[in-house]
Amino acid sequence: MAGSALRRLMAEYKQLTLDPPEGIVAGPVSEDNFFEWEALIAGPEGTCFEGGVFPARLVFPPDYPLSPPKMKFTCDMFHPNIFADGRVCISILHAPGDDPLGYELSAERWSPVQSVEKILLSVVSMLAEPNDESGANVDAAIMWRERREEFNSIARRLVRKTLGLAT
Cα 114 to chain center, whole Å? 14
Using DSSP's 3-state secondary structure scheme, residue 154 falls into: helix
Q: Which residues of 71-101 are buried (b: 16+ CB within 10 A; e: fewer)?
A: bebeeebbbbbbbeebbbbbbbbbeeeeeee
133 near another protein (CB under 8 A):
yes
Which amino acid is located at 20 in the chain?
P
Q: Which of 67, 72, 76, 86 binds another protein (CB under 8 A)?
A: 67
48 catalytic? Reply is no
Among 13, 35, 78, 83, which residue sits at the site for another protein (rule: CB under 8 A)?
Answer: 83
The strand pair at 24-30 and 33-42 is best described as: antiparallel
Smallest gap from Cβ 164 to another protein, in A, equals 29
Residue 147 lies near another protein (rule: CB under 8 A) = no
Catalytic residue among 77, 89, 127, 136: 89
Q: What does the binding site for another protein look like in residue numbers (CB under 8 A)?
A: 1, 3-4, 7-8, 11, 15, 63, 65-67, 83, 87, 89, 95-98, 100-102, 105-106, 108-115, 133-136, 138, 141-142
